[in-house]
Protein backbone atom coordinates (compact mmCIF):
# COMPACT_ATOMS: atom_id res chain seq x y z
CA UNK A 1 0.00 0.00 0.00
CA UNK A 2 1.13 3.54 -0.62
CA UNK A 3 0.11 5.90 2.15
CA UNK A 4 2.02 9.11 2.79
CA UNK A 5 2.47 8.50 6.51
CA UNK A 6 4.49 11.65 7.14
CA UNK A 7 1.34 13.79 6.69
CA UNK A 8 -1.00 11.49 8.62
CA UNK A 9 -2.20 12.24 12.13
CA UNK A 10 -2.47 9.63 14.85
CA UNK A 11 -6.01 8.23 15.04
CA UNK A 12 -5.38 5.66 17.77
CA UNK A 13 -2.79 5.76 20.54
CA UNK A 14 -2.20 2.85 22.93
CA UNK A 15 -0.04 3.49 26.00
CA UNK A 16 1.19 0.80 28.38
CA UNK A 17 -1.69 -1.58 27.62
CA UNK A 18 -1.90 -4.61 29.91
CA UNK A 19 -4.39 -7.45 29.96
CA UNK A 20 -3.94 -10.01 32.73
CA UNK A 21 -6.29 -12.95 33.31
CA UNK A 22 -6.46 -14.56 36.75
CA UNK A 23 -6.00 -18.31 36.38
CA UNK A 24 -7.26 -20.59 39.15
CA UNK A 25 -4.33 -22.68 40.47
CA UNK A 26 -6.41 -24.56 43.07
CA UNK A 27 -6.71 -24.15 46.86
CA UNK A 28 -8.11 -20.62 46.38
CA UNK A 29 -4.90 -19.48 44.66
CA UNK A 30 -4.77 -17.57 41.40
CA UNK A 31 -1.91 -16.52 39.17
CA UNK A 32 -2.02 -13.77 36.52
CA UNK A 33 -1.64 -14.84 32.91
CA UNK A 34 -0.02 -11.85 31.23
CA UNK A 35 -1.64 -12.03 27.79
CA UNK A 36 -0.64 -8.43 26.96
CA UNK A 37 2.11 -6.82 28.98
CA UNK A 38 2.93 -3.12 28.60
CA UNK A 39 2.26 -2.65 24.87
CA UNK A 40 2.39 0.85 23.32
CA UNK A 41 1.92 1.99 19.71
CA UNK A 42 0.06 4.45 17.50
CA UNK A 43 -1.95 3.99 14.31
CA UNK A 44 -2.18 6.90 11.91
CA UNK A 45 -5.39 7.87 10.17
CA UNK A 46 -5.80 5.95 6.92
CA UNK A 47 -2.98 3.46 7.48
CA UNK A 48 -2.87 -0.28 8.16
CA UNK A 49 -0.78 -1.55 11.05
CA UNK A 50 -0.07 -5.26 10.77
CA UNK A 51 0.33 -7.20 14.02
CA UNK A 52 2.15 -10.54 13.77
CA UNK A 53 3.54 -13.26 16.02
CA UNK A 54 3.14 -16.90 16.97
CA UNK A 55 -0.16 -18.30 18.19
CA UNK A 56 -0.71 -17.36 21.83
CA UNK A 57 1.50 -14.25 21.75
CA UNK A 58 -1.40 -11.91 22.58
CA UNK A 59 -2.27 -10.45 19.15
CA UNK A 60 -6.02 -11.05 19.35
CA UNK A 61 -6.12 -9.94 22.99
CA UNK A 62 -4.57 -6.59 21.97
CA UNK A 63 -7.35 -6.02 19.44
CA UNK A 64 -10.14 -7.03 21.80
CA UNK A 65 -8.72 -5.00 24.68
CA UNK A 66 -8.45 -1.86 22.52
CA UNK A 67 -12.18 -2.19 21.77
CA UNK A 68 -12.84 -2.93 25.46
CA UNK A 69 -14.32 -6.34 24.72
CA UNK A 70 -11.92 -7.17 27.55
CA UNK A 71 -11.59 -4.51 30.24
CA UNK A 72 -7.91 -3.41 30.25
CA UNK A 73 -5.97 -4.35 33.39
CA UNK A 74 -3.91 -1.19 32.93
CA UNK A 75 -2.96 1.30 30.25
CA UNK A 76 -4.65 3.96 28.17
CA UNK A 77 -6.46 3.89 24.82
CA UNK A 78 -6.82 7.30 23.14
CA UNK A 79 -8.97 7.57 20.02
CA UNK A 80 -8.86 10.75 17.95
CA UNK A 81 -7.63 12.72 20.96
CA UNK A 82 -10.21 11.33 23.42
CA UNK A 83 -9.30 8.84 26.13
CA UNK A 84 -11.66 5.85 26.33
CA UNK A 85 -12.28 5.73 30.06
CA UNK A 86 -16.03 5.66 30.79
CA UNK A 87 -19.28 4.33 29.35
CA UNK A 88 -20.01 7.54 27.46
CA UNK A 89 -16.66 7.69 25.65
CA UNK A 90 -16.85 3.92 25.02
CA UNK A 91 -20.30 4.22 23.43
CA UNK A 92 -19.07 6.94 21.07
CA UNK A 93 -15.90 4.95 20.34
CA UNK A 94 -17.91 1.88 19.33
CA UNK A 95 -19.76 3.91 16.72
CA UNK A 96 -16.42 4.60 15.08
CA UNK A 97 -14.49 1.37 15.78
CA UNK A 98 -15.59 -2.18 14.96
CA UNK A 99 -14.11 -5.65 14.53
CA UNK A 100 -14.03 -8.39 11.90
CA UNK A 101 -13.65 -11.73 13.68
CA UNK A 102 -11.41 -14.62 12.72
CA UNK A 103 -13.91 -17.46 12.36
CA UNK A 104 -16.69 -16.75 9.83
CA UNK A 105 -18.47 -19.92 10.99
CA UNK A 106 -18.88 -19.14 14.70
CA UNK A 107 -19.10 -15.33 14.56
CA UNK A 108 -22.49 -15.28 12.78
CA UNK A 109 -25.72 -16.19 14.56
CA UNK A 110 -27.22 -19.24 12.76
CA UNK A 111 -30.76 -18.26 13.85
CA UNK A 112 -30.64 -14.82 12.22
CA UNK A 113 -31.05 -13.96 8.57
CA UNK A 114 -28.21 -12.16 6.82
CA UNK A 115 -30.32 -9.00 6.83
CA UNK A 116 -30.70 -9.11 10.62
CA UNK A 117 -27.01 -9.96 11.16
CA UNK A 118 -25.85 -6.97 9.10
CA UNK A 119 -28.48 -4.67 10.64
CA UNK A 120 -27.72 -5.60 14.25
CA UNK A 121 -25.31 -2.65 14.80
CA UNK A 122 -27.92 -0.35 13.23
CA UNK A 123 -30.49 -1.63 15.73
CA UNK A 124 -28.14 -1.24 18.71
CA UNK A 125 -27.16 2.34 17.87
CA UNK A 126 -30.58 3.37 16.42
CA UNK A 127 -29.09 4.46 13.12
CA UNK A 128 -32.23 4.48 10.96
CA UNK A 129 -35.53 6.30 10.96
CA UNK A 130 -37.79 3.72 9.33
CA UNK A 131 -37.96 0.06 8.36
CA UNK A 132 -37.45 0.98 4.73
CA UNK A 133 -34.31 2.97 5.56
CA UNK A 134 -32.97 -0.03 7.50
CA UNK A 135 -33.57 -2.38 4.54
CA UNK A 136 -31.96 0.04 2.08
CA UNK A 137 -28.88 0.36 4.29
CA UNK A 138 -28.56 -3.44 4.54
CA UNK A 139 -28.72 -3.85 0.75
CA UNK A 140 -26.17 -1.05 0.33
CA UNK A 141 -23.77 -2.80 2.75
CA UNK A 142 -24.20 -6.19 1.05
CA UNK A 143 -23.48 -4.60 -2.33
CA UNK A 144 -20.37 -2.98 -0.86
CA UNK A 145 -18.87 -6.40 -0.02
CA UNK A 146 -19.87 -8.15 -3.26
CA UNK A 147 -23.17 -9.76 -2.20
CA UNK A 148 -26.63 -9.10 -3.67
CA UNK A 149 -30.15 -8.47 -2.43
CA UNK A 150 -31.12 -12.15 -2.80
CA UNK A 151 -28.68 -13.04 -0.02
CA UNK A 152 -30.42 -10.84 2.56
CA UNK A 153 -33.23 -13.27 3.42
CA UNK A 154 -30.99 -16.34 3.68
CA UNK A 155 -29.18 -17.82 6.70
CA UNK A 156 -25.44 -17.99 7.37
CA UNK A 157 -25.19 -21.80 6.97
CA UNK A 158 -26.21 -21.44 3.31
CA UNK A 159 -22.98 -19.60 2.46
CA UNK A 160 -19.36 -20.55 1.88
CA UNK A 161 -16.60 -19.42 4.25
CA UNK A 162 -15.59 -16.54 2.00
CA UNK A 163 -19.19 -15.33 1.68
CA UNK A 164 -19.68 -15.58 5.45
CA UNK A 165 -16.64 -13.43 6.03
CA UNK A 166 -18.07 -10.87 3.61
CA UNK A 167 -21.25 -10.83 5.72
CA UNK A 168 -19.08 -10.22 8.80
CA UNK A 169 -17.33 -7.36 7.03
CA UNK A 170 -20.69 -5.85 5.99
CA UNK A 171 -21.79 -5.99 9.63
CA UNK A 172 -18.56 -4.24 10.71
CA UNK A 173 -19.21 -1.48 8.16
CA UNK A 174 -22.82 -0.92 9.27
CA UNK A 175 -22.02 1.94 11.69
CA UNK A 176 -19.87 3.67 9.06
CA UNK A 177 -16.69 3.21 11.15
CA UNK A 178 -13.32 4.90 10.81
CA UNK A 179 -11.27 2.15 12.49
CA UNK A 180 -11.56 -1.64 12.14
CA UNK A 181 -9.71 -4.37 14.05
CA UNK A 182 -9.27 -7.25 11.59
CA UNK A 183 -8.59 -10.36 13.69
CA UNK A 184 -6.99 -12.87 11.29
CA UNK A 185 -9.91 -12.34 8.89
CA UNK A 186 -8.57 -14.65 6.15
CA UNK A 187 -6.84 -17.42 8.12
CA UNK A 188 -9.89 -19.74 7.96
CA UNK A 189 -10.33 -19.27 4.18
CA UNK A 190 -8.93 -21.06 1.14
CA UNK A 191 -5.88 -19.40 -0.39
CA UNK A 192 -7.75 -18.38 -3.57
CA UNK A 193 -10.49 -16.73 -1.47
CA UNK A 194 -7.92 -15.04 0.81
CA UNK A 195 -6.64 -12.93 -2.08
CA UNK A 196 -10.18 -11.77 -2.96
CA UNK A 197 -10.94 -10.75 0.63
CA UNK A 198 -7.58 -8.98 1.09
CA UNK A 199 -8.13 -7.03 -2.13
CA UNK A 200 -11.60 -6.10 -0.88
CA UNK A 201 -10.10 -4.75 2.36
CA UNK A 202 -7.72 -2.64 0.24
CA UNK A 203 -10.57 -1.36 -1.92
CA UNK A 204 -12.78 -0.52 1.07
CA UNK A 205 -9.94 1.37 2.69
CA UNK A 206 -9.47 3.51 -0.41
CA UNK A 207 -13.20 4.14 -0.88
CA UNK A 208 -14.19 4.73 2.74
CA UNK A 209 -10.96 6.11 4.24
CA UNK A 210 -10.68 3.28 6.77
CA UNK A 211 -7.88 2.64 9.26
CA UNK A 212 -6.99 -0.97 10.11
CA UNK A 213 -5.27 -2.93 12.84
CA UNK A 214 -4.67 -6.10 10.83
CA UNK A 215 -3.85 -9.12 13.01
CA UNK A 216 -2.40 -12.17 11.24
CA UNK A 217 0.23 -14.87 11.39
CA UNK A 218 0.75 -15.12 7.62
CA UNK A 219 3.61 -12.73 6.92
CA UNK A 220 2.98 -12.60 3.17
CA UNK A 221 -0.60 -11.44 3.75
CA UNK A 222 0.55 -8.85 6.28
CA UNK A 223 3.20 -7.46 3.97
CA UNK A 224 0.70 -7.07 1.14
CA UNK A 225 -1.82 -5.02 3.12
CA UNK A 226 0.23 -3.25 5.84
CA UNK A 227 1.99 0.12 5.87
CA UNK A 228 3.78 -0.71 9.13
CA UNK A 229 4.27 -4.03 10.95
CA UNK A 230 4.52 -4.73 14.67
CA UNK A 231 5.95 -8.03 15.94
CA UNK A 232 4.75 -9.52 19.25
CA UNK A 233 6.23 -12.27 21.39
CA UNK A 234 4.71 -13.59 24.63
CA UNK A 235 2.61 -10.50 25.34
CA UNK A 236 5.38 -8.00 24.51
CA UNK A 237 5.96 -5.92 21.40
CA UNK A 238 9.54 -6.57 20.24
CA UNK A 239 9.76 -4.66 16.93
CA UNK A 240 7.84 -2.03 14.97
CA UNK A 241 8.76 -0.48 11.62
CA UNK A 242 7.48 0.10 8.10
CA UNK A 243 6.56 -3.07 6.20
CA UNK A 244 9.45 -2.66 3.76
CA UNK A 245 11.94 -2.00 6.57
CA UNK A 246 10.83 -5.06 8.55
CA UNK A 247 11.25 -7.29 5.50
CA UNK A 248 14.54 -5.81 4.29
CA UNK A 249 16.19 -5.15 7.62
CA UNK A 250 14.67 -6.95 10.64
CA UNK A 251 16.68 -6.12 13.77
CA UNK A 252 15.21 -8.29 16.52
CA UNK A 253 16.36 -11.97 16.53
CA UNK A 254 12.74 -13.13 16.72
CA UNK A 255 11.71 -11.05 13.70
CA UNK A 256 14.73 -12.38 11.80
CA UNK A 257 13.63 -15.95 12.53
CA UNK A 258 10.02 -15.31 11.51
CA UNK A 259 11.03 -13.73 8.20
CA UNK A 260 13.54 -16.45 7.38
CA UNK A 261 10.60 -18.90 7.28
CA UNK A 262 8.58 -16.91 4.71
CA UNK A 263 8.33 -18.87 1.41
CA UNK A 264 10.04 -17.22 -1.55
CA UNK A 265 8.67 -17.58 -5.11
CA UNK A 266 12.16 -17.30 -6.66
CA UNK A 267 13.95 -20.72 -6.41
CA UNK A 268 17.41 -19.11 -6.43
CA UNK A 269 16.52 -16.70 -3.64
CA UNK A 270 14.88 -19.54 -1.69
CA UNK A 271 18.05 -21.66 -1.89
CA UNK A 272 20.21 -18.71 -0.83
CA UNK A 273 17.93 -17.91 2.10
CA UNK A 274 19.24 -19.27 5.40
CA UNK A 275 16.47 -20.48 7.68
CA UNK A 276 16.93 -19.44 11.32
CA UNK A 277 15.41 -22.28 13.33
CA UNK A 278 14.41 -21.48 16.91
CA UNK A 279 15.14 -24.08 19.56
CA UNK A 280 12.58 -25.02 22.18
CA UNK A 281 8.91 -24.11 22.52
CA UNK A 282 7.34 -20.77 23.31
CA UNK A 283 7.12 -20.51 27.12
CA UNK A 284 3.78 -20.33 28.90
CA UNK A 285 2.60 -16.80 29.73
CA UNK A 286 1.92 -18.19 33.23
CA UNK A 287 5.63 -18.90 33.66
CA UNK A 288 7.28 -16.29 31.49
CA UNK A 289 11.09 -16.04 31.70
CA UNK A 290 12.60 -13.19 33.68
CA UNK A 291 13.93 -10.23 31.74
CA UNK A 292 13.47 -10.56 27.99
CA UNK A 293 10.74 -13.14 27.24
CA UNK A 294 12.57 -14.31 24.10
CA UNK A 295 15.89 -15.05 25.82
CA UNK A 296 15.19 -18.80 26.30
CA UNK A 297 15.09 -19.25 22.50
CA UNK A 298 17.54 -16.55 21.45
CA UNK A 299 20.98 -17.46 20.15
CA UNK A 300 22.35 -14.08 21.27
CA UNK A 301 21.04 -14.17 24.86
CA UNK A 302 23.39 -13.08 27.66
CA UNK A 303 23.16 -12.53 31.42
CA UNK A 304 21.81 -9.03 30.98
CA UNK A 305 18.85 -10.44 29.03
CA UNK A 306 17.80 -12.47 32.09
CA UNK A 307 18.12 -9.50 34.44
CA UNK A 308 15.86 -6.92 32.80
CA UNK A 309 13.37 -6.42 29.99
CA UNK A 310 15.01 -4.32 27.28
CA UNK A 311 13.26 -0.98 26.63
CA UNK A 312 11.17 -0.63 23.47
CA UNK A 313 13.03 2.26 21.87
CA UNK A 314 13.59 3.91 18.51
CA UNK A 315 16.97 2.76 17.13
CA UNK A 316 16.48 4.20 13.63
CA UNK A 317 13.89 6.70 12.36
CA UNK A 318 10.52 5.00 12.74
CA UNK A 319 12.12 1.67 13.68
CA UNK A 320 11.50 0.52 17.27
CA UNK A 321 13.12 -2.56 18.84
CA UNK A 322 13.29 -4.13 22.30
CA UNK A 323 16.70 -5.84 22.50
CA UNK A 324 19.71 -5.32 24.80
CA UNK A 325 22.19 -6.43 22.12
CA UNK A 326 20.78 -4.47 19.20
CA UNK A 327 24.09 -2.73 18.53
CA UNK A 328 26.08 -5.97 18.60
CA UNK A 329 24.13 -8.45 16.45
Q: Domain extents for the chain?
A: 9-96+177-321, 104-176
* Separation between Cα atoms, residue 60 and residue 51, nearest integer Å: 9
List phi, psi (to 5°) of 211: -120, 135
- Contact call for residues 321 and 239 (beta carbons, < 8 A): yes
- Contact call for residues 153 and 114 (beta carbons, < 8 A): yes
Burial of 252 (0-12, 13-18, 19+ CB in 10 A): buried
pLDDT the model gives residue 15: 96
User: How does 270-305 read in b/e, with b if 16+ C-beta sit within 10 Å?
Assistant: eeeeeeeebeeebbebeebeebbbbbbbbeebeeeb
Confidence of residue 283 (pLDDT cuts 50, 70, 90): confident
Residue 178 has pLDDT above 50, yes or no: yes
Confidence of residue 262 (pLDDT cuts 50, 70, 90): confident
- Contact call for residues 98 and 121 (beta carbons, < 8 A): yes
Query: By three-state DSSP, how is residue 18 classified?
Result: strand
* Separation between Cα atoms, residue 101 and residue 172, nearest integer Å: 9
> For 122-145, what is each residue's pLDDT tens digit?
999 998 999 999 999 999 999 999
Task: Report whether CATH 3.40.630.30 matches the domain 9-96+177-321.
Answer: no
Residue 14 has pLDDT above 50, yes or no: yes
Confidence of residue 328 (pLDDT cuts 50, 70, 90): confident
Burial of 81 (0-12, 13-18, 19+ CB in 10 A): exposed
* Separation between Cα atoms, residue 40 and residue 237, nearest integer Å: 8
Please, how many CA atoms are within 13 Å of residue 195, restricted to the half-sphere of its CB?
2
For residue 197, the surrounding DSSP H or E stretch is helix 191-208
Sheet holding 82-83, edge to edge: 29-44, 10-26, 74-79, 82-83
Amino acid sequence: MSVNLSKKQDLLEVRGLKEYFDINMGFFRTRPLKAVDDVSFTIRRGETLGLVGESGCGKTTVGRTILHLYKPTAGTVIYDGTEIKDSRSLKEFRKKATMVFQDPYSSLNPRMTVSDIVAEPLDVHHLYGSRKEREERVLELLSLVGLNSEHASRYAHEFSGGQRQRIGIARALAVDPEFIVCDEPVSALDVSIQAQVINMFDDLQDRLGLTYLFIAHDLLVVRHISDRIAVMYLGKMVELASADEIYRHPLHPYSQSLLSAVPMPDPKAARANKRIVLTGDIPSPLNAPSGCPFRTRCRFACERCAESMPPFEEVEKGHFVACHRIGEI
